[in-house]
Structure 1
Amino acid sequence: MRFSIYLNAQSPGPAHDLDVIDAITAQAVLADRSGFAGVCLTEHHFTGYNTYGNPFTFGAYLAPQLQSAHVVLSVAVPALWNPMNFAEAVNTLDLLTRGRCVIGVGTGGSPQEYKGLGRDPVQRNALMEEVIDIALAAMAKEDDDPELPYSTSHSAGVLTRRIMPGSYTRPHPRFGRASLSDEGIVSTARRGWALMTAREAAQETARKLALYHATLDAAGHDGATLAFCREWSMVQKMIYVAESDEQAMADVDEPLNYLAAQSSKSFGGSAEGAGFKNSIVGVSAVDREGFLNKAMIVGGPETVAKSIAEYQAAGVDHLTLVFIYGQLNPALAAASLRRFIDSVMPRFSGPVAAARGVAASHAFSD
């Protein structure tokens, strides 16, 4: 079992933003030094759900502070980007990490995020594919190649020369995709991209992973692509490790209230008209029991280890874990991370070193 840490902390207000970013930076560095395979960053805007907003900027800030962990975008939202800006940001992060990154993408974002960036959320799937296709074409363009005209529902232009900088990983950085649907899972496997999924109980997670791996094996990818996909496909869980199950439930009560309120603000009312479900990533904290069962792992060290073992038995070999969320007190989050490192993680130690270096085999040598 491999573990990555997922950073998506909320802030009470502008006066606290730097403190929150400092807290998750400290978590990232501790996780890196403790053998976590990756540091996962996400993209959210305007909704109170993510303090740092832009994962490319934050990833570039974290990269020189990490000794071995990959920077993993889980996920960026191409639909909210101009395709040329997206291609530049992807290549820059890949170059600055010397290929030690994974670019996860998804439709992401609540209706307010699409509105704030002048996008139509109803078109989010089509727009994501448009931006990705154009960005990949732009990454492949050489300086002397013919001009590359492009057009999406929200932007148009002509790329006359090459994208700068070029990527470290060739022919382009490695990608993953967030998906909960069978259709999305099949598409991800056929592309040779890592699968990023979340918010399902162990049995349904097992079914989805089986579909992904069967499609992946039948797609005819080369060995390096298969190894990358198997090592960097991951399942996300919010986690809290306390001294006892009772204390854990008491400590996450207020964070769950906050997440439920934020979900209602972000998706309530406008969700149906925009084609969104209650939550774009599955079960919402509004359904507390469902959220605890599907999106979280909460308890004392024994209970947490038992839950992780259930997912491992279901075929999960890479978990990405969120330790600070819902305005959880940073000191409690730090204690939870430390308990996990000291009392849970050693039970699942595995070939972390193998997971750290896959991208290097596809990159230029120094």
Structure 2
Amino acid sequence: MRFSVFLNARTTAADQDRQLILDLVDHAKKAEDLGFDAIFLPDHHFTGYMPVASDAMMFAAYLAGQLKKVHFGFSVTSVPLHSPVRFAERVNILDQLTEGRLLVGVGSGTTPEEMIGFGVNYKEASAIAEANLAIAEKLWAKQIDDAPIEFENGPYKGKVLQRIAPAMYGKRHARLMPVAMKEASARRAAEHGWPAFIPAFTPPNIGGTEPLKHVTKYFTAYRAMLEAAGHDEAIVADALSWTTHTYQCVHIAESDDQAREELEIILRAYQAAVDREKYYNDAAERDAANHKTDDTPMALTEDWIATWCLHGSPKTVADHLAPYAELGIGNVLCGTTTGPLDPQRLEWANRTLDLLARDVMPQFKSAQ
């Protein structure tokens, strides 16, 4: 089982942005030094979710110049917010800079306010995402002497005459990682031999107290499709080794009681930030075309904690992960910096990295 770090910290004011960027660079370096397998970044805009998320690929390129062992991933790229040409180009640049250590999560996005800022109709986001990915595949395959590729998709239109530069690092473009919630997304990952994100809930309920049940359902379906797709054993093994289950908040302390007490402090700050952002989101979502229809439970509810959190002593955390490892989950994505990143929160995040690396990861790494 692999372990990766999700840099999902927030700020709540503009004067905090620079310090957060510096702190996340240091946190990522610490993760590599401790033996974590990858650094993942979110892709979000305008919401205060995370300053570097407004251009996660640029931040990953900066980190790639300093971190030479870890993979880099995105959880997940909101495909409708990216020109298909720029998406294809930037993926190839990162593929080259990381020497193929790249995993590009792809999805249709979650927040109407973000769509409004990019001129995308929220209700059309899924269709635009599907078409953008199809266009990107054509662009990656295009040779310089091939006929021009012309497209028109939502706010994006163009005609590519030559080829995408730079070329991809390997024989295939960087691995994309769909969310294996919809059958079509799981099948896309399986047929291409890509990893997938495995959700822990089933809509319309964005939470619940039985995450393993949902993870088992989605993972089993994805793995069956992958194994039936006719790939070489090496491609199947690689895809499964990166197939990812995400915890938005991972918090470890010496005892369960200490971890729970600190987790509640973290989640109260997180929820306050979310509520503040919702105030502005609600102001943006005034027309029916941009109204979000699902609803996530409050962070301090047991539904949210059971679905999105991994917390406790090292032993409790290892015991929790054991059935996921037995199921075959290849990569655990750990949100170690969830919420506003003040000095206390950063200290706890670094302690979580230390305890994971010292007391949890060796139990699962030895099985590789």
Q: Same fold (TM over 0.5)?
A: yes
Match of 1:178 in 2: 179
Does structure 1 residue 316 correspond to structure 2 residue 329?
yes
Question: How far apart are residue 86 of structure 1 and its match?
Answer: 0.8
Contact between 2:255 and 2:312, CA under 8 Å: does it hold in 1? yes
Does structure 1 residue 244 correspond to structure 2 residue 260?
no
Question: How far apart are residue 271 of structure 1 and its match?
Answer: 10
Contact between 1:83 and 1:132, CA under 8 Å: does it hold in 2? yes
Does structure 1 residue 14 correspond to structure 2 residue 14?
yes
Shift of the 199–126 alpha-carbon distance from structure 1 to 2, 3 Å rule, reads same
Q: 354, 362, 366: which one pairs with 1:338?
A: 354
Distance, in Å, in 2 between the alignment partners of 1:23 and 1:246 is: 27
Distance, in Å, in 1 between the alignment partners of 2:70 and 2:286 is: 36
Question: How far apart are residue 286 of structure 1 and its match?
Answer: 4.5
Match of 2:190 in 1: 189
Distance, in Å, in 2 between the alignment partners of 1:236 and 1:161 is: 39
Q: What is the percentage of aligned positions where both structures have the same residue?
A: 30
Shift of the 125–191 alpha-carbon distance from structure 1 to 2, 3 Å rule, reads farther
Q: 200, 203, 212: which one pairs with 2:213?
A: 203
SS of residue in 2 equivalent to 1:290: helix
CA-to-partner distance for each residue in 1:306-326, whole Å, 9 max, x for gaps?
111132233323211110011
Question: How far apart are residue 268 of structure 1 and its match?
Answer: 6.1
Distance, in Å, in 2 between the alignment partners of 1:48 and 1:35 is: 30
CA-to-partner distance for each residue in 1:288-331, whole Å, 9 max, x for gaps?
21111111111122211111113223332321111001115211
Q: 327, 346, 350: which one pairs with 2:340?
A: 327
CA-to-partner distance for each residue in 1:119-152, whole Å, 9 max, x for gaps?
1111111111111111121122122222111110
Does structure 1 residue 42 correspond to structure 2 residue 42?
yes
Does structure 1 residue 116 correspond to structure 2 residue 117?
yes
Distance, in Å, in 1 between the alignment partners of 2:96 and 2:143 is: 17
Distance, in Å, in 1 between the alignment partners of 2:304 and 2:139 is: 40
Does structure 1 residue 147 correspond to structure 2 residue 148?
yes
Question: How far apart are residue 242 of structure 1 and its match?
Answer: 1.1
**For residue 354 of structure 2, what is the amino acid of its counterpart?**
R
SS of residue in 1 equivalent to 2:164: coil
Q: How many residues align?
A: 349
Contact between 1:323 and 1:336, CA under 8 Å: does it hold in 2? yes
Contact between 2:73 and 2:103, CA under 8 Å: does it hold in 1? yes
CA-to-partner distance for each residue in 1:241-281, whole Å, 9 max, x for gaps?
012222212212233234334545447694995464435xx
Match of 1:2 in 2: 2
Shift of the 226–9 alpha-carbon distance from structure 1 to 2, 3 Å rule, reads same
Question: How far apart are residue 284 of structure 1 and its match?
Answer: 3.9
Q: 222, 231, 234: which one pairs with 1:221?
A: 231
Could you tell me the TM-score, scaled by structure 1's length? 0.88
Shift of the 343–257 alpha-carbon distance from structure 1 to 2, 3 Å rule, reads same
SS of residue in 2 equivalent to 1:112: helix
Does structure 1 residue 233 correspond to structure 2 residue 246?
no
Match of 2:264 in 1: 253
CA-to-partner distance for each residue in 1:28-65, whole Å, 9 max, x for gaps?
22222222221111101111112202111011011122
Greater mean alpha carbon deviation, residues 221-230 or residues 4-13: 221-230
Match of 1:84 in 2: 85
Match of 1:160 in 2: 161
CA-to-partner distance for each residue in 1:152-192, whole Å, 9 max, x for gaps?
01111111111111111223222111243444323432333
Unaligned runs of 5+ in 1: 353-366
CA root-mean-square deviation = 2.2
Match of 2:313 in 1: 300
Shift of the 73–351 alpha-carbon distance from structure 1 to 2, 3 Å rule, reads farther
Shift of the 327–351 alpha-carbon distance from structure 1 to 2, 3 Å rule, reads same
